[in-house]
Amino acid sequence: MKNNWSNFHQIARNSFIATSTIYASTEFNFSNTSLPDRRSFCYAAAGGFVVLKSEKEFNNALSKAQDGSLPSVFYFTAAWCGPCRLIAPVILELSKKYPDVTTYKVDIDEGGLSNALGKSNVSAVPTLQFFKGGVKKAEIVGVDVVKLRTVMDQLYK
C-alpha cells in the first residue's frame, strides 16, 4: 500500500494542471487547487472549519454529509501542494461567509486516512467536494477561485 501512495504523490506533484468542466446537471466539475500548511489553517480557522485526522473522524463527517443533516465541503489537500496554499485563504474566507456549512480539511498525507481517498475517488489535490441535502452536488479539482465562489454561492446562499 505504501508503494501505491508513493506513486499517487508523484503523479499529483507532476500533474496539477488546472482544468475545468461544467456539467449541465445538478453536478459541477471544476478544476481547483489546495490549502496551505495544516498549522496555519487550523489556528486561523473559525466556526465551521474542521481538520479531520483519522478514518473514524472522516467516516463520521461523511455520514453527516450524506444523511443530509449537514451541508458540507470536503477539502482534500497536502502540505507540499503549492496550489493548495494559494487557495487556502479563499476557503477560509468562504467558511466564515457560510457558517452553516462545515468545511472539512483532509490532508492526504495524514496517517489513517488512506481509505478516505478511495471512498471519495480523490486522485489529485486540491480537490473540493460539496454536499447538500445528502448528495454530492459539485466537485472542483485544481485552483479556480471564481468557480469556487460561484459554486458556494449557488449551493449555500
- Give the pLDDT confidence score for residue 22 in this predicted structure: 27
Mean pLDDT of the chain: 77
What gap in Å lies between CA 124 and CA 118, rounded to an integer?
A: 12
Total domains present in the chain: 1
- Cα→Cα distances 22→30, 97, 132, 140, Å: 7, 24, 18, 10
pLDDT above 90: residue 44: no
pLDDT, tens digit (0-9, with 9 covering 90-100), for 23-38: 222 233 333 334 333 3
pTM score above 0.85? no
- Active-site amino acid positions: 81, 84
Asked, for residue 128, whether it belongs to a domain, the answer is yes
Task: Residue 91: give the domain boundaries.
Answer: 49-156
Asked, for residue 73, whether it belongs to a domain, the answer is yes
3-state secondary structure at position 64: helix
Q: Which helix (H) or strand (E) holds 118?
A: helix 114-120
* pLDDT (average), residues 5-33: 35
